[in-house]
């Protein structure tokens, strides 16, 4: 027996579970602050070269006595006056009155920034423009490296030491390094601090997500997981509100960090996961948690159920080899499905974060674009709640990725003066990719066999982080040609949608438990029979001690 045997008596989503669930959803808002703050912390406002005769506190608007055509070379690629070079001119009124053009240009040494929207950002403070503009993309990319490392480190530690201590350790580290990033004296300290903060978002959000999933019944997991993602979307939109009230980047970074202190009081309200306690054979602690939940839910757990929560370990369980990631690549069908799933995670993560971080480049009102980009996630998740268990995972995943790809690719056909249409298409693409990103979680979990499900999901999540790492550099290509990022994200999403057609549907299907069943899952019957005597199937039968034969008899 196990925790699932308690749920029929305890209730799948009773008052106790609802209270804890709401509490663990709130930190998702804080994690959204940190993951999306880079849009404002690394904002690059309009800028121009500081001319030799200007004071360091010069305003962005140029002196009308010195027209742009006489002070800056023309950037034909971006159809504007250069922001990285100035003409080497003799800056005197007599020179300009004579109308004599300068014959060569030089690189800017200092810049003047438009402070209409941003009082300051890391870009304006450390001049991360022109030849150093790649540093801002690198900072966002390294933040996602931190997210990747955090998912590995904190995920392993939460399995070993428990959900609760790792959740709170992540919170404390997040607050410390979040404040440190806000007072960083230079780029390196800021970036290292943000890497650590990125790692802690995994420790906070993923552990909170696991806590929520481990305490609710199977029929409520889709609802619980989707609602938690909606809380993340709320944090997404609130980030813009913070940016409005704190236009300076240092105040903004600290303001986004301090709410994390509120969650430290959870120590007295959030219990350790009963499932984790049972997995570590801490029966008495698990029973204490279950009895507390039963009291709040006003139910009684039968004594025989509690007495049989943990079955004695058998020698077969102890000697059973641990599943390996390599098992996913030993056999052709599992290998094909795994590679397709990994690609989908890469595309969804890269496109989602790429679009989220690209709102500054869409034109129009930057804060409004950002809020809309977060707001479209709510109908996307609502759509999943209404359709995922009706239309099927494959239909939703393929359809949403194809829609996202189509919307984003269409932006390259929109004239530059129709900026509202570019924003509309980008937001429709964001809505669609959010829905597909939400689908890939449950679809992947149902594709991998039970014995290797956690390993497969962990590997898929790691691949997704690489998509997030590359996203800032793809957005950086917008400095070369503005439509570039949308075209790349759109092409990847469209390709992912087409390739996902080769994955089997999992809705209302008996999910695979063994590696053998995972290899057979999704194969056509005639092809399945043809594989019966292949070397791979012979090896697979030996590997699983005849599981294939047993499933055929069933």
Using DSSP's 3-state secondary structure scheme, residue 38 falls into helix
Q: Supply 317's token pair.
A: 């369980």
> Is the per-residue pLDDT at 29 higher than 90?
yes
Find all residues with CB under 8 Å of 550, minimum gap 6, and list them.
Answer: none
- Are the C-beta atoms of 427 and 379 separated by less than 8 Å? no
Band of pLDDT at residue 360, cut at 50, 70 and 90: confident
Q: Supply 296's token pair.
A: 């709040």
Least confident of 262-271, 412-421, 429-438: 412-421
- Are the C-beta atoms of 351 and 492 separated by less than 8 Å? yes
pLDDT confidence of residue 554: 38
Q: Supply 285's token pair.
A: 């602690």
Residue with tokens 């917008």: 478
pLDDT confidence of residue 416: 75
Provide the sign of the torsion angle of the four alpha carbons 547, 551, 552, 554, taken in this order: positive
> Is the per-residue pLDDT at 89 higher than 70?
no
Band of pLDDT at residue 409, cut at 50, 70 and 90: very high
According to DSSP, the β-strands at 111-113 and 105-107 are unpaired
Residue 404 burial class via C-beta count within 10 angstroms: exposed 0-12, middle 13-18, buried 19 and up: buried
Find all residues with CB under 8 Å of 165, minimum gap 6, and list them.
Answer: none
pLDDT confidence of residue 91: 61
According to DSSP, the β-strands at 80-81 and 74-75 are antiparallel
Query: How remote is the C-alpha of 159 from its chain's centroid?
Result: 21
pLDDT averaged over every residue in the chain: 84
Using DSSP's 3-state secondary structure scheme, residue 119 falls into coil
> Is the per-residue pLDDT at 118 higher than 50?
yes
Band of pLDDT at residue 85, cut at 50, 70 and 90: confident
**CA proximity to 396, closest of 545, 275, 488, 506:** 506
pTM, full prediction? 0.85
Average pLDDT estimate for 246-267: 94
pLDDT confidence of residue 531: 46
Average pLDDT estimate for 179-183: 96
**Axis-axis angle for helices 377-391, 366-375 (nearest 10):** 20
| Cα–Cα distance measured from residue 542 to residue 540, given in angstroms and rounded to the nearest whole number | 5
DSSP collapsed to 3 states, 474-499: HHHHHHCCCCHHHHHHHHHHHHHHHH
Listed in order, the ranges of the chain carrying CATH 1.20.1250.20 are 1-45+129-320, 327-524
Band of pLDDT at residue 352, cut at 50, 70 and 90: very high
pLDDT confidence of residue 396: 94
pLDDT confidence of residue 451: 73
Half-sphere exposure of 405 (CA within 13 A, CB side): 19
Fold designation for 1-45+129-320: Growth Hormone; Chain: A; (1.20.1250)
Q: Which bin fits 11, alpha (ψ -120 to 50), beta or left (φ > 0)?
A: left
Q: What percent of the chain has pLDDT over 70?
A: 86
Band of pLDDT at residue 96, cut at 50, 70 and 90: low
DSSP collapsed to 3 states, 300-343: CCCHHHHHCCCCCCCHHHHHCCCCCHHHHHCCHHHHHHHHHHHH
Q: Which CATH number fits domain 327-524: 1.20.1250.20, 3.40.630.10, 3.20.180.10, 3.40.50.9100?
A: 1.20.1250.20
> Is the per-residue pLDDT at 552 higher than 50?
no
> How does pLDDT run across 500-516, given as a tens digit for each residue?
999 998 887 777 777 88
Higher pLDDT, 298 or 481: 298
pLDDT confidence of residue 358: 85
Q: Per-residue DSSP letters for 238-294?
A: HHHHHHHH--SHHHHHHHHHGGGGGGGGGGGTPPPPHHHHHHTT-HHHHHHHHHHHH
> Is the per-residue pLDDT at 173 higher than 90?
yes
pLDDT confidence of residue 426: 92
pLDDT confidence of residue 530: 45
């Amino acid at each position: 027996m196990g925790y699932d045997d308690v749920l029929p008596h305890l209730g799948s989503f009773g008052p106790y579970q609802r209270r804890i669930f709401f509490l663990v959803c709130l930190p998702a808002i804080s994690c959204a602050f940190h993951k999306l703050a880079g849009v404002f912390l690394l904002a690059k406002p309009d800028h121009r070269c500081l001319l030799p005769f200007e004071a360091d506190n010069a305003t962005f608007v140029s002196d009308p006595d010195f027209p742009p055509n006489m002070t800056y070379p023309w950037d034909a690629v971006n159809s504007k006056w250069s922001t990285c070079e100035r003409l080497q001119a003799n800056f005197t009124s007599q020179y300009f009155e004579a109308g004599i053009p300068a014959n060569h240009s030089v690189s800017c040494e200092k810049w003047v920034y438009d402070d209409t929207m941003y009082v300051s950002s890391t870009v304006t403070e450390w001049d991360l423009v022109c030849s150093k503009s790649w540093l801002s993309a690198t900072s966002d990319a390294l933040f996602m490296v931190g997210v990747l490392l955090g998912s590995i480190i904190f995920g392993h530690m939460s399995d070993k030491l428990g959900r609760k201590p790792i959740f709170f350790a992540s919170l404390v580290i997040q607050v410390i390094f979040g404040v440190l990033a806000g007072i960083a004296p230079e780029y390196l300290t800021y970036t290292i601090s943000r890497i650590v903060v990125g790692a802690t978002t995994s420790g906070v959000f993923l552990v909170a997500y696991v806590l929520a999933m481990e305490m609710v019944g199977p029929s409520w997991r889709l609802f619980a997981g989707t609602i938690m993602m909606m809380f993340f979307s709320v944090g997404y939109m609130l980030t813009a509100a913070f940016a409005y009230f704190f236009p300076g980047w240092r105040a903004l970074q600290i303001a986004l960090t301090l709410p994390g202190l509120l969650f430290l009081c959870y120590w007295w309200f959030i219990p350790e996961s009963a499932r984790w306690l049972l997995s570590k054979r801490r029966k008495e602690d698990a029973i204490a948690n279950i009895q507390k939940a039963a009291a709040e839910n006003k139910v009684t757990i039968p004594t025989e159920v509690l007495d049989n929560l943990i079955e004695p370990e058998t020698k077969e369980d102890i000697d059973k080899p641990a599943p390996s990631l390599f098992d996913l690549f030993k056999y052709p069908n599992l290998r094909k499905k795994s590679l397709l799933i990994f690609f989908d995670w890469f595309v969804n993560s890269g496109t989602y974060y790429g679009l989220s971080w690209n709102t500054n480049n869409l034109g129009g009102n930057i804060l409004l674009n950002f809020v809309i980009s977060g707001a479209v996630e709510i109908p996307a998740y609502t759509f999943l709640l209404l359709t995922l268990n009706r239309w099927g995972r494959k239909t939703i995943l393929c359809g949403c990725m194809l829609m996202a790809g189509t919307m984003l690719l269409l932006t390259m056909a929109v004239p530059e003066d129709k900026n509202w249409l570019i924003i509309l298409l980008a937001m429709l693409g964001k809505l669609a990719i959010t829905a597909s990103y939400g689908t890939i979680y449950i679809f992947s979990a149902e594709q991998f066999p039970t014995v290797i499900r956690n390993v497969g999901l962990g590997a898929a999540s790691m691949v997704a982080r690489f998509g997030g790492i590359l996203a800032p550099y793809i957005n950086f290509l917008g400095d070369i040609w503005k439509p570039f990022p949308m075209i790349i994200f759109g092409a990847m999403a469209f390709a992912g949608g087409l390739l996902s057609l080769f994955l089997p549907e999992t809705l209302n299907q008996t999910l695979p438990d063994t590696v053998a069943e995972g290899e057979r899952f999704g194969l056509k019957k005639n092809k399945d029979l043809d594989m019966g005597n292949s070397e791979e199937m012979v090896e697979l039968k030996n590997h699983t001690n005849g599981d294939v034969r047993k499933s055929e008899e069933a």
